[in-house]
A and B are shown apart, each in its own frame.
Chain A
Amino acid sequence: MEITGKALILACSAIGAGTAMIAGIGPGIGQGFAAGKGAEAVGKQPEAQGDIIKTMLLGAAVAETTGIYGLVVALILLFANPLVNML
C-alpha cells in the first residue's frame, strides 16, 4: 500500500475541504438569531413587516459571507486544487 506524494496531498485536501465546512456553524447560529428577532419584531409591529424582513435579509446576507468563504475554500481544494501542481 504505497502512498505517493500526490495521493498524500489529495487526501489531506479531502480532510481540509470537509473541515472548512465547519465554518457553516457561525452563519447558521447568527442568521437564526436574526430570523428570531425578525419574527419577534413582526409580532410587535406587524405594519412594519416589509421593512423588518428587508433588514433581516440584508443582515443575514452579511452573516453568510464566512460560510461562503468556507465553501469557496472547500470547492477550490476539491475542484481546482492548486497544491498538487506545486509538486
Chain B
Amino acid sequence: MANFIELFINWLLSFDKEAVILGASAIGAGLAMIAGVGPGVGQGYAAGMAAESTGSHPENQKTSLMTMLVGAGVAETTGILSLVVALILMFGNPMAHQEGNALAIAGSAIGVGLAMVAGVGAGIGCGYAAGKGAEGAGIAPENNRGTMMCMLLGSAVAQTTGIFSLVIALIFMYANPLASASVGASNELALILGMSGIGAGASMIAGLGSGVGCGYAAGKASEAVAINPEATGKSIMLMLVGSAMAQTSAIFSLVITLILMYGNPFISVDANYLVLGASAVAAGVSMIGGLGPGVGQGYAAGKAIEGASFNLKATNKVMVVMILGQAIAQTSSIFSLVVSLILMFANPLLNMDASFIVLAASALGAGNAMLAGIGPGIGQGFAAGQASMITGMRPRLQGPVLRTMVLGQAVAQTTGIYGLVIALVLLFANPLVGLL
C-alpha cells in the first residue's frame, strides 16, 4: 500500500496540470492578502494619534490630518502590492501556462503568497511613523517639513522588505527558475522543487520584523525632529544606522530564498525525495526566526533617537550602546541562518538509514524549533532600546547601564539556545531514529 503522502501526490497528479496550479494559486492569493493585517493596524494607530492630537491641539488639526494621511498612504503600499499579486493570480494567472511540472509550479504559487505576508511589517511600521508624524504636527506645526521628511525617509526604508517580497513573487510568477528546473524532471524531483518554492516563500516572512522595526525608528525620528529641529541631523543618522542593522535578518532570508531558487542544493543529492523536500521547507521556516531581531533592533534604533534627542552631545555614547545591543539581538537570526545552511549543505539526515518519515519530520521539527528565536530577538532589542535611551539622559552611567543590559540580554537568550539545541539534536544526535 502506498503511504498517505504518495497517495496525496498521486491524487494531485490525477488532475490536469492547470487545475493543480490554479488551485495552488487560489491558496497563494489568499495567503498574500494576510499582508492586509499590517496597514489595518498601522493606519488605525495613525488615525488614533491624529484624533488625539486634534483633541489636544484643535488649532493644528489641518496639519496633523494632512501628515496622518500622507503617512497612512505610504502604510497602504504593501496592502496594495499584495492585492495586485492576488489579482494577477486570479485574473491574469501567468503560472498555469509555465512550462514544467505541476508540483513544482504549484509549490511556487504558494511561495508567492507566503512571501507577500512580509508586507504586514511595513504596514504596521509605516502606520506607526504616520501616527508619530501626526502627533508631532499637532505639537509643532512650524517644524512639519522636517517631521514629514523624517517620516517619509524612514518609511521608505521600512518598505524595503515588502519590495524584496514583491520581487520574489514577480520572479515566481514571470520567470520561475523552479518551473524551468522541473521541465522533463520526474515527479519526485518536481516535488522537491515545489517544496523549495514553499520554503523560499516562507523564508521571506522574516521581512515582517524589519518592516515593523524600521517603521518604529522612523516614528521616533519624526517625533524627535518635531520637538527639537536641531536634532534633525543626528536623528536621521541614528535612524539610518539603526535601520540598516534591522534589515540584516531580512537580507539573510533573501539570500536563503535565492539559494533555494537559483542554487538549490537538494536537486543534485541522492536521498529520499520527501526528506529532501521537507528539508527545503524547514530551511525556509527556520529563517522566520529572523523576524524577532528585525523588530527588536528597530525598537533599539527608535529609543536611541529618543535618548540622543535629550542630549545631542551624548549621541556617540548612545550609538555605541545601540549598536552593541543590536549586535546581541542579532544572535537569533544567525542561529536560524546556521540551521538553515546545515539543512541545505551539510544535512546529516540525508545519509541516515531510517524510515523516511522520521527523517523528514525531524527536518521540519528542526526548522520549527528555530522560531523560538523570535522572542529573544524582540526582547533583547527592547533592552538595547531602554539602555540607549537612558544613556542619552545620563551619559555618565553608560558603563553600569551597558553591564545590566548585557546581563539581562544573556538571560533572554536562553530560550533561543534551547530551540537551537533541540534543532541540533534532531539533526545530529537524533534519538528517534534509534527507537525504530
Residues of chain A whose beta carbon lies under 8 Å from any beta carbon of chain B? 1-4, 6-8, 10-19, 21-40, 42-44, 46, 49, 52-53, 56-57, 60, 64, 67-68, 70-71, 74-75, 78-79, 81, 84
Contact = CB atoms under 8 A, between A and B. Distances in A.
A28 B397 CA distance: 26
A26 B418 CA distance: 13
Most chain A beta-carbon neighbours within 10 Å: one of B382, B389, B409, B425? B382
A28 B292 contact: yes
Interface size class of B (residues with CB under 8 A): 35 or more
B414 interface: yes
B162 interface: no
B119 to A, nearest CB: 21
Contact of A39 (B372, B387, B432): B387
Contact of B368 (A2, A6, A19, A39): A19
Given A15-B361, A17-B365, A43 B401 contact: yes
A10 B332 CA distance: 28
Contacts of B411: 31, 34-35, 57, 60, 64
B426 interface: yes
A11 B385 CA distance: 41
B378 A28 contact: yes
Given A1-B6, A78-B426, A32 B382 contact: yes
21 contacts: A1-B274, A10-B358, A18-B422, A19-B369, A23-B415, A24-B376, A24-B415, A24-B416, A25-B378, A29-B379, A31-B408, A31-B411, A32-B296, A35-B380, A35-B409, A35-B412, A43-B387, A43-B401, A56-B404, A57-B411, A78-B426
Interface string B372-384: 1111111111111
Given A2-B3, A39-B383, A46 B374 contact: no
Contacts of A36: 382-387, 405, 408
Given A25-B372, A60-B411, A71 B418 contact: yes
A35 B422 contact: no
Interface in B405-431: 405, 407-409, 411-416, 418-419, 422-423, 425-426, 430-431
A25 B365 CA distance: 16
Given A11-B358, A24-B373, A34-B411, 18 more contacts: A11-B432, A18-B364, A18-B365, A22-B371, A25-B292, A25-B415, A31-B414, A36-B387, A38-B405, A39-B390, A39-B405, A43-B391, A43-B400, A43-B401, A52-B404, A57-B407, A71-B422, A79-B431
B389 A38 contact: no
Contact of B404 (A32, A53, A75, A84): A53
Contacts of A53: 404, 407
A1 B435 contact: no
B4 to A, nearest CB: 8
Given A1-B6, A21-B372, A70 B365 contact: no
A21 B423 CA distance: 9
Contacts of A74: 369, 418, 422
B251 interface: no
B10 interface: no
Contacts of A29: 375, 378-379, 382
B394 interface: yes
B355 A28 contact: no
Contacts of B373: 24, 28
B365 A16 contact: yes
A42 B412 CA distance: 18
B342 interface: no
Nearest to B392: A43
B29 interface: no
B412 A21 contact: no
